[in-house]
Structure 1
């Protein structure tokens, strides 16, 4: 897992899994926004910018899915290892490396 670029203290797995979600969001200064993406395969994304974490979740999903994905996306954003695996069909993907590869390829084409 990549080192966190966020200055907020690192949460533990026990705290991420056991604390009320509203408490986690407040303590870790995470913003939750509604995405306009409604594709069934999209379950959310975490964006880290300027030391802040913004979780984008699709609209009209069951509360249990929103809770589950928010906790895992927070763990990913903070670089917390040891989270229990997501149940099928859910998963998270770190696109940082993919984005870096795409940006590098674009620069090479433009050169």
Structure 2
């Protein structure tokens, strides 16, 4: 997996300009859609990773881990503009912001895999 964006907090504002403040409690759709993507991801502590899922129907997904750590998975080989749009869309949806649904044939499927992940972990450590 390649890490496309890292939220390591190293991005600096353009000299003489302050970046607008973004927090998880106050983030808006306008900020997510209009500010530089790396600023949005760094501010919200989101990591984007290119997954190894090559299924043509998979464009991306969100994993919310312990402590609220957010990781967005993207599919490999997509046009960078498609990936940018998807990451922004998934970020807005993750924070339950009011964004329009993606057009057909794209769709969003919500799956809570907590129990499946827990069962896989138990199986792995007990083997």
TM-score range, shorter chain: 0.7 to 0.9
Structure 2 matches for 1:1-111, cutoff 5 A? 8-50=24-66, 51-80=68-97, 82-96=98-112, 99=113
Match of 1:23, SS?
A: helix
For residues 65-99 of structure 1, the C-alpha deviation after alignment (integer angstroms, 9 at most, x for no partner) is 1011101111122222x213323322222112xx4
CA RMSD of aligned residues (A): 2.1
Q: Which runs of 5+ in 2 are unaligned?
A: 1-22, 117-127
Q: Which runs of 5+ in 1 are unaligned?
A: 1-6, 104-111
Higher Rg = 2
For residues 25-81 of structure 1, the C-alpha deviation after alignment (integer angstroms, 9 at most, x for no partner) is 11111001111101110000000012110001111100111011101111122222x
Report the count of equivalent residues. Answer: 94
Q: Distance in 2 between matches of 1:61 and 1:25?
A: 19
Q: Distance in 1 between matches of 2:83 and 2:72?
A: 10
Whether the 8 Å CA contact 2:93–2:99 is kept in 1: the answer is: no
